[in-house]
Structure 1
Amino acid sequence: MRNRATAVRRIRHRKAPGLRAACALCVAALAGTAQAAWDCASLVAVTTGDATITSATLTDPPAVIGGATVAVQFCRVQGIARPSSDSEIKFEVWLPPSAGDWNRRMKVNGTGGYAGSIPYARLAQDVADGIVSAGSNMGHDGGESASWTLNRPEKVKDWGLRAHYSVATAAKALSNAFYAEPVRYSYFEGCSNGGRQALMMAQNYPELFDGIVAGAPSNFYPDLLMWLLWTGKNLTPSAPFGPPSVSTAKRQAVTQRVLQACDALDGATDGQITNPRACRFDIDNLGPSGDGTLTATELAVFKAMYAGTTSEAGVQRYTGARLGSEADWNPLFADNGGYGPFIGHYVYAQESPPFDWRRDINFSSVYDTVKQALTPVTAAPSPDLRAFTRRGGKIIQYHGWNDSVVAPDGSIGYYYALTQFEWLKSLPPRLADRLIDELSPQAVEATALVFGRKVREYHRLFMLPAVGHCGGSTGPSAIGGGAPEPPKAYRNADTHVVSAVIKWVEEGVAPEKIVASAFDANGGVVRQRPVCPYPAQAVYENGGDLNSASSFTCKTPHPRDINVEAGDMLHIRNSLTQRGLLLPHR
Structure 2
Amino acid sequence: MYYGMATGVGEGYAVASTDTGHDSSTPDGQGGRFTLGHPEKLIDYAYRADHLMTVTAKALVKAFYGRAASHAYWIGCSLGGLEGLIEARRYPDDYDGIVAGAPPNPIVDFNAEQLWAGWMSSHDPALRVPRDRFRLLNAAVMEACASPVGKKQGFLDEPDRCTFTPQQLLCKKGQTTGCLNANEVQAAQKIYQGPVDPQTHQVIFPGPAKGSEDGFSADGRPFPVALDLFRYAAFQNPDWDWTTLKWDTDVQAATRSLGPLLHVDDNLTPFFRHGGRLLMYIGWNDGHNPEQLAGYYQSLLHNAGPVGADAVRLITIPGMGHCHGGAGCDTFSKLGAIDNWVSHGQPPEQIIAARVENGQVVRTRPLCAWPKVARHDGHGDMDAASSFACVSPDTH
Same fold flag (TM > 0.5): yes
Kindly indicate whether the alpha-carbon contact (under 8 Å) linking 2:78 and 2:101 is maintained by their aligned counterparts in 1: yes
1:238 Cα offset (Å): 7.5
Structure number with the higher helix fraction is: 2
Matches within 5 A, 1:358-507: 358=243, 360-380=244-264, 382-404=265-287, 406-422=288-304, 455-479=308-332, 496-507=333-344
| Of 31, 34, 43, the match for 1:157 | 43
| Of 162, 174, 193, the match for 1:279 | 162
For the pair shown, which has the larger CA radius of gyration, 1 or 2? 1
Kindly indicate whether the alpha-carbon contact (under 8 Å) linking 2:101 and 2:282 is maintained by their aligned counterparts in 1: yes
Partner of 1:249: 132
After superposition, the Cα gap between the structure-2 partners of 1:277 and 1:306, relative to the gap in structure 1 and judged at 3 Å, is same
**RMSD of aligned Cα (Å):** 2.7
1:221 Cα offset (Å): 1.1
Kindly indicate whether the alpha-carbon contact (under 8 Å) linking 2:119 and 2:220 is maintained by their aligned counterparts in 1: no
Structure 2, unaligned runs of 5 or more: none
| Of 189, 196, 201, the match for 1:303 | 189
Partner of 2:13: 131
| 3-state secondary structure, aligned to 1:410 | helix
Aligned residue type for 2:256: Q
Matches within 5 A, 1:169-248: 169-234=55-120, 237=122, 245-248=128-131
| 3-state secondary structure, aligned to 2:74 | strand
1:334 Cα offset (Å): 7.5
1:346 Cα offset (Å): 3.1
1:551 Cα offset (Å): 0.7
Distance 1:498 1:328 in 2: 30
After superposition, the Cα gap between the structure-2 partners of 1:527 and 1:370, relative to the gap in structure 1 and judged at 3 Å, is same
Kindly indicate whether the alpha-carbon contact (under 8 Å) linking 2:114 and 2:223 is maintained by their aligned counterparts in 1: no
| 3-state secondary structure, aligned to 1:214 | strand
Aligned residue type for 1:471: H
Kindly indicate whether the alpha-carbon contact (under 8 Å) linking 2:278 and 2:311 is maintained by their aligned counterparts in 1: yes
After superposition, the Cα gap between the structure-2 partners of 1:288 and 1:297, relative to the gap in structure 1 and judged at 3 Å, is same
Structure 1, unaligned runs of 5 or more: 1-118, 424-450, 480-495, 562-586
Matched, 1:166 2:52: yes
Partner of 1:553: 389
Aligned residue type for 2:86: M
The percentage of aligned residue pairs carrying the same residue is: 30
| Of 313, 316, 327, the match for 2:203 | 316
Distance 2:128 2:330 in 1: 29
Aligned residue type for 2:280: Q
Distance 1:377 1:335 in 2: 24
Task: Deviation per CA, 1:512-533: give whole Å up to 9, x if none.
Answer: 2112211121x22212111101
Kindly indicate whether the alpha-carbon contact (under 8 Å) linking 1:273 and 1:466 is maintained by their aligned counterparts in 2: yes
Kindly indicate whether the alpha-carbon contact (under 8 Å) linking 1:466 and 1:475 is maintained by their aligned counterparts in 2: yes
Distance 2:22 2:221 in 1: 21
Matches within 5 A, 1:320-331: 320-329=207-216
| 3-state secondary structure, aligned to 1:316 | coil
After superposition, the Cα gap between the structure-2 partners of 1:541 and 1:189, relative to the gap in structure 1 and judged at 3 Å, is same
| 3-state secondary structure, aligned to 2:214 | helix
Kindly indicate whether the alpha-carbon contact (under 8 Å) linking 1:228 and 1:333 is maintained by their aligned counterparts in 2: no
After superposition, the Cα gap between the structure-2 partners of 1:392 and 1:333, relative to the gap in structure 1 and judged at 3 Å, is farther
Task: Deviation per CA, 1:320-372: give whole Å up to 9, x if none.
Answer: 111111012356898463432432233333222xx1102x1121111111111
Aligned residue type for 1:419: L
After superposition, the Cα gap between the structure-2 partners of 1:330 and 1:164, relative to the gap in structure 1 and judged at 3 Å, is farther
Matched, 1:518 2:371: no
Distance 1:398 1:209 in 2: 18
TM-score after normalising by structure 2: 0.90
Task: Deviation per CA, 1:402-424: give whole Å up to 9, x if none.
Answer: 111x232221011111232145x
1:268 Cα offset (Å): 7.8
1:502 Cα offset (Å): 0.6
After superposition, the Cα gap between the structure-2 partners of 1:268 and 1:238, relative to the gap in structure 1 and judged at 3 Å, is closer
After superposition, the Cα gap between the structure-2 partners of 1:402 and 1:166, relative to the gap in structure 1 and judged at 3 Å, is same
1:234 Cα offset (Å): 3.9
Kindly indicate whether the alpha-carbon contact (under 8 Å) linking 1:266 and 1:538 is maintained by their aligned counterparts in 2: no
Kindly indicate whether the alpha-carbon contact (under 8 Å) linking 2:120 and 2:220 is maintained by their aligned counterparts in 1: no
TM-score after normalising by structure 1: 0.62
Task: Deviation per CA, 1:252-277: give whole Å up to 9, x if none.
Answer: 22111101111128898643322211
Aligned residues: 388
Aligned residue type for 1:555: V
After superposition, the Cα gap between the structure-2 partners of 1:130 and 1:269, relative to the gap in structure 1 and judged at 3 Å, is closer
Distance 1:525 1:343 in 2: 41
